[in-house]
């Protein structure tokens, strides 16, 4: 090796050593203390926990909104269906009355009987059940009393007459039965109390 090559090699070594020492000092300058890294990690963990909590709250809010929306839609559909059923039941009642009147006058009602039979099938198909009332004890959840008759042979509140049929749909009363109920006379009640 020539002297010039030797000098170039030494110069390169010196430059390389100098670069290494500069890099080491720069690394030391850029080095973040472990305590600071731990603090940074803890802060990031806290941010993650906050984001997870917000996500859980948002998911719960969404699920509540979904349930409420479903319930609101169901209530809206039921209200519309009830309104339609009440209109249908009015027409149904008219057919029943017409059949009875024509039958009482000895007029052939076979056509009306067929229509009423179809209407009964339709009501049954959609789970619309008539409320039985005659002989039952008055229940304000199912019956609406419009008159009272004195009758000593029956308990108070016994339904003696059905004025208009009521109906239940999906465990909801869509139309209460309008009824007449019995009541014992006050005189009989007083006598019963004196003798008892």
Confidence at residue 10, expressed as pLDDT on a 0 to 100 scale? 58
Q: What is the CA radius of gyration of the chain?
A: 45
- How would you write 9-42 as a 3-class SS string? HHHHHHHHHHHHHHHHHHHHHHCCCHHHHHHHHH
136 within some domain: yes
Q: Which residue has the tokens 């969404």?
A: 62
**pLDDT given at position 115:** 92
In this structure, are 70 and 113 located in the same domain? yes
Identify the pLDDT of residue 2.
59
Q: Which domain holds residue 158?
A: 130-187
> What is the pLDDT at residue 165?
92
Neighbour-count burial for 52-88, b at 16+ CB within 10 Å, e otherwise:
eeeeeeeeeeeeeeeeeeeeeeeeeeeeeeeeebeee
Final residue of a structural domain among 103, 126, 149: 126
| Helix, strand, coil share of the chain (percent; to 5) | 65, 20, 20
Give pLDDT tens digits for 25-72: 555 556 778 888 889 999 999 999 999 999 999 999 999 999 999 999
pTM over 0.85: no
Please, what is the average pLDDT of the chain?
84
Which has the minimum average pLDDT: 14-18, 98-102, 154-158, 162-166?
14-18
179 and 135 inside one domain: yes
User: How would you classify the pairing of strands 128-131 and 143-150?
Assistant: unpaired
């Amino acid at each position: 090796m020539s002297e010039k090559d030797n000098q170039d090699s030494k110069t390169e070594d010196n430059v390389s050593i100098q670069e290494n020492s500069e890099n080491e000092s720069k690394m030391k300058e850029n080095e973040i203390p472990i305590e600071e890294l731990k603090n940074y990690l803890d802060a990031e963990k806290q941010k993650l926990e906050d984001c997870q909590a917000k996500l859980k709250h948002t998911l719960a809010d969404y699920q509540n909104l979904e349930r409420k929306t479903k319930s609101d839609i169901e209530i809206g559909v039921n209200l519309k269906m009830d309104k339609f059923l009440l209109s249908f039941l009015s027409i149904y009642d008219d057919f029943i009355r017409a059949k009875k009147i024509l039958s009482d006058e000895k007029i052939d009602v076979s056509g009306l009987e067929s229509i009423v039979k179809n209407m009964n099938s339709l009501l049954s198909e959609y789970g619309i059940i008539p409320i039985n009332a005659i002989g039952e004890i008055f229940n304000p959840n199912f019956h609406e009393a419009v008159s009272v008759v004195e009758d000593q042979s029956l308990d108070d509140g016994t339904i003696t007459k059905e004025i208009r049929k009521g109906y239940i749909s999906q465990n909801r009363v869509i139309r209460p039965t309008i009824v007449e109920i019995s009541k014992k006379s006050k005189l009989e009640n007083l006598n019963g109390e004196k003798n008892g």
